[in-house]
Amino acid sequence: MKKLSIIFLVFLISCGNTSEESSNDSNQTDTTNKDIETTTTTIPSVPTSDINFIEIFESKLGSELCKDAKEVTTTTEVCLKQYIENLTYLVSLQDDISNYAKILIDYKEQYPESNSEVIEKFISFVENDYSQIFIPLEEVQQIYKSRFGGVPVINNLTINNELWNECPADIEIEGTENIKSGILIYENKIGEKIEIPLSGSNNYFDRKLNVMGGEFTLTSAKLTNFLNEEFEGIATPVNSFYVNHWDAFFSKVEILNYDNSQITVSVEWIDGYLKMEAFSLLFQREGLYEGNMNVAALTKFGSEKAKSLNKESYFDNGGYSLTYIEKSDNKTVVSYNFKQQQAIELTEQPFRLNRIMSTDPWYEKHELVYFYRFNDARTDVVAIEFTRKVGCNGEGSVQNKQEYIELNDFAFTLPFNSYESYFVTKP
């Protein structure tokens, strides 16, 4: 409706010009019948506007745009969005242009003898240029919505090199052009997360992977298009990937049951370049009857290693009061007779799990492959210390890394439910 009002005003201006011509013809006729009386009339200047509409029009659709902005099917989102914004701004000038046109009409009607190029130029601008922007705006808006709205898609996720814990990643992600932002979250068995942020259709992820390692599976994929519509559960070409690690690390430690004579524990782990050979769980008790209870056992790999070296293990000859219930690739379930082996009597004062560590089949390794160490049994636990091996450039680059982490600042789940739940006391 506003567009029609402008054209109508242009029509009025044209009518004003016709009226002027008729008036001039009448005056000429009159001068043939009577003497001409010459008078001098002062014509004011053509009204001007504080806004230079033509200059703004040329700027908004010229110098302010990307060179290829009007190639709407191929230009970038930024350029196409700018084109829409500029067209929208020009459309918002309708009322101002209508008002100025009316002022020019009134002036032309009052001073028909005026023949100003300003008026003619403005009429031409409205008819030939400004009136043409309304349909393009609708078309460009529709193309923008079609190209940059809708459901975003991840087309490729390429892992260029092997991933190692504590080392920079090398991952490329390619998606459709309607991806404005997003995040992919992969999680491993112990709750560590690798979050890959996305911005635009092409992304490169090279952050340091500050994780233990293992298999990471996609747990969340959220993408947002340029209409700010958010989509969850987006499929990706890679649903899981493996982060290599030098050490084996514990994934679950569980006390299955105990009585006044023995305790049965289940231990699970994830092997790295180095495999778990044996483990030791240290329980400590303070008070009048202080003492240690050490539940140590072999893994399947540890048993095979001892056998291949023809070197009997301390944990596999029956002398350590152990009964193996399960010994599979990544799990050992063992029952330890603490009363027979260590003459321990349980009391109301609890034994508390204080340390988990890996060792070798002969319990001789002085440099621990991996271990947790909690505060001693007399105090509340506030942090956990552990050691692990890291290295980004092969075996020669591997070093031990010691960490001290506050309990409320863990990026992964401990291999047991809670510290307090691992008490062993008189049944």
Domain boundaries, the chain: 2-26+44-148, 154-244, 249-424
Q: How far apart are the first and last CA of the chain?
A: 87
pLDDT (tens digit, 9 = 90+) per residue, 381-392? 667 777 888 999
Instruction: Domain 154-244: give its CATH architecture.
Output: Sandwich (2.60)
Rounded to two decimals, what is the model's pTM?
0.79
265 pLDDT exceeds 70?
yes
Q: Which residues contact 186 (CB under 8 A, 6 or more apart)?
A: 193, 194, 196, 216, 217, 218, 219, 240, 241
DSSP secondary structure letters along 125-138: HHHHTGGGSHHHHH
Angle, CA of 297, 299 and 302, to the nearest 5°: 100
Overall average pLDDT of the 167-188 stretch: 97
224 or 118, which is more confident? Answer: 224
Q: Which amino acid is at 152?
A: P
- pLDDT for residue 12: 40
- pLDDT for residue 353: 82
Q: Which residues contact 323 (CB under 8 A, 6 or more apart)?
A: 334, 335, 337
DSSP secondary structure letters along 240-288: EEEEE-SS-EEEEEEEEEE-SSEEEEEEEEE--SSPP-EEEEEEEE-ST
The CB-side HSE value for 203 (13 A sphere, CA atoms) comes to 25
- CA atoms 405, 406, 407, 410: torsion sign: negative
User: What is the spatial distance between Cα 280 and Cα 310, in angstroms, rounded to a whole number?
Assistant: 22
User: What is the spatial distance between Cα 189 and Cα 152, in angstroms, rounded to a whole number?
Assistant: 29
- pLDDT for residue 208: 95
157 three-state secondary structure: strand
User: What is the spatial distance between Cα 326 and Cα 304, in angstroms, rounded to a whole number?
Assistant: 15
Kindly indicate the confidence band of residue 279, based on its pLDDT and cuts at 50, 70 and 90: very high
- Give CA torsion, residues 161, 163, 169, 171, to 10 deg: 50
- pLDDT for residue 367: 52
pLDDT (tens digit, 9 = 90+) per residue, 207-243? 999 999 999 999 999 999 999 999 999 999 999 999 9
User: What is the spatial distance between Cα 365 and Cα 373, in angstroms, rounded to a whole number?
Assistant: 16
- pLDDT for residue 241: 97
Kindly indicate the confidence band of residue 27, based on its pLDDT and cuts at 50, 70 and 90: very low
Q: Are the CB atoms for 300 and 269 separated by under 8 Å?
A: no
Note the helical H segments in 195-253: none
pLDDT (tens digit, 9 = 90+) per residue, 57-102? 999 999 999 999 999 999 999 999 999 999 999 999 999 998 998 8
